[in-house]
Chains A and B, each alone.
Chain A
Amino acid sequence: MLQCIIVFWLDLKRDKGQKRIGISTFTNFMAKHDRTGFLMKLIAENLSADRGEVRIFEKVSFELSAGEGMVVTGPNGAGKSTLLRVLAGFLRSSQGRVQLDGGELAPQSHFLGPNNGMKPNLSVAENLDFWRRYYVGTSNIYDALEKVQLAHVRDMPFNDLSTGQKRRVAIARVFVAHRPVWLMDEPTSGLDSDAEAMFAALVADHMNGGGIVIAATHLPIVVKGMKRLRFEGGAS
């Protein structure tokens, strides 16, 4: 039987020092609020999930507003990935619910799973262009590649990239179409420390622009002002 003790606390030390009053304060405010003026809000209430007969976690609740992020930490097998799969709607939660502004979360989110979702035989540009068209996105794929500093590999077959580069291309995928919520499962696996810092900056950017980021990881992602959800204890 699996016993999970879930401790959830808010990291209230939001990094206020970085914010400057100026035009960006205004645009950030606008981005965080939709046209009707409400602050976008992601609410998870009392989530529990089972896999087969085994209860993976129970009674997880949290609330995130636009511009907030959350890191889900915990040992292997504690239920981090399961939580993300429940949030994305791949698994049904056995109890509780997730809502984004009272609606569904899935259509508004990007999911970055353990696999990259790219075809090895196609070039990087072909892969990203496919996802842009499939997501009905409007962004330029080269701008997206620029963000992960991989503009120079755009015509290489995806298969010829290194593990870390593949991961960065997968990260670039979330930029080809705007979705306010990012659900990320071990986003930095395979990345070197420079790329991790780059990724942290991208996450911070997204949050500053009014997005919500939920990342499951066993490594500390250094983004100031992210909340923490810690799963304690794995299979026991």
Chain B
Amino acid sequence: MMALILRDIKLGLRAGGGALVGILFYLAIVAVTPFAMGPDLNLLARIGPAILWTGALLASLLGLERLFQIDREDGSLDLMVLNNNEVPLGLAVFSKCVAHWITTGLPLVIVTPLLGLLLNMDGLAIGATMLTLLIGTPAITFIGAVGAAVAVTLPRGGLLVSVVILPFAIPVLIFGVMATFGATVSGAPFQAPLLLLTALMLFFAVLGPLAAGYALKSAND
């Protein structure tokens, strides 16, 4: 399991990994929004967390289709299915998700403070957004694994993966933004949405890999 995580991180960081693409896409969305909104700094600061969250969500969806497709193309996926006894497929999917999040999701969280400054957000709002993204982006990866596994046999499943998993990712978005507002706006709840967000992440961390593993196993039939 560790072997798989380490290998996928190595692959993600070397040339051809999608980490940079996700960050650039995130940057593009966040940088463009203020131009569309107009020069109202207070408005920007107020909706900043929502913009960051939308950007991070879309950027996380970007590389998901490749999660299993490369392994399928080079034959590794068959070998993983065959090795089900040594490393259960659900665990293999979980490892791949962890590695995928470390190479694509974590960088998004790390660049968030920089982008927060572009949106005139204060320190507390930036911190709260980072915290909720840190909890929320793994959930998106785990949900995405199911979509990626279902679409693994389709040659151009990229958009399909995004469309299929978006409805399941929306609760994550709702609770993520809600918790961020709770941290900055007095009177809004903070702890409850944060705990719900965490619960969603843990729930999908278990269900996602199991479902994706099952989908991969039946992908050949």
Q: Which residues of A contact B (CB under 8 A)?
A: 85, 88-92, 106-107, 109, 111, 113-122, 126, 129-131, 133-136
Contact = CB atoms under 8 A, between A and B. Distances in A.
Nearest to B80: A134
Nearest to B76: A117
Grouping DSSP codes into helix (H, G, I), strand (E, B) and loop, the A interface class, with mixed when no group exceeds half, is loop
Which of A85, A114, A135 gathers most chain B CB within 10 Å?
A135
Interface in B1-46: 2-4, 7, 10-11, 14-16
A91 B220 CA distance: 6
Contact of A116 (B14, B16, B75, B221): B75
A25 B12 CA distance: 49
A116 B76 CA distance: 8
A91 B15 CA distance: 35
A29 B7 CA distance: 39
Contact of A122 (B2, B7, B73, B81): B7
B71 to A, nearest CB: 9
Contact of A115 (B75, B84, B221): B75
Q: How large is the interface on B (under 10, 10 to 19, 20 to 34, 35 or more residues)?
A: 20 to 34
B221 A92 contact: yes
A193 B34 CA distance: 66
B75 A114 contact: yes
B74 A116 contact: yes
A121 B11 contact: yes
B122 interface: no
A135 B87 CA distance: 8
Contacts of B7: 119, 122, 126, 130
Contact of A134 (B15, B75, B87, B220): B87
A133 B3 contact: yes
Contact of B220 (A85, A115, A126, A133): A85
21 contacts: A89-B81, A90-B78, A90-B81, A91-B220, A92-B221, A106-B82, A107-B85, A113-B78, A114-B75, A115-B74, A119-B74, A119-B76, A120-B74, A121-B15, A122-B7, A134-B4, A134-B80, A134-B86, A135-B83, A135-B86, A136-B86
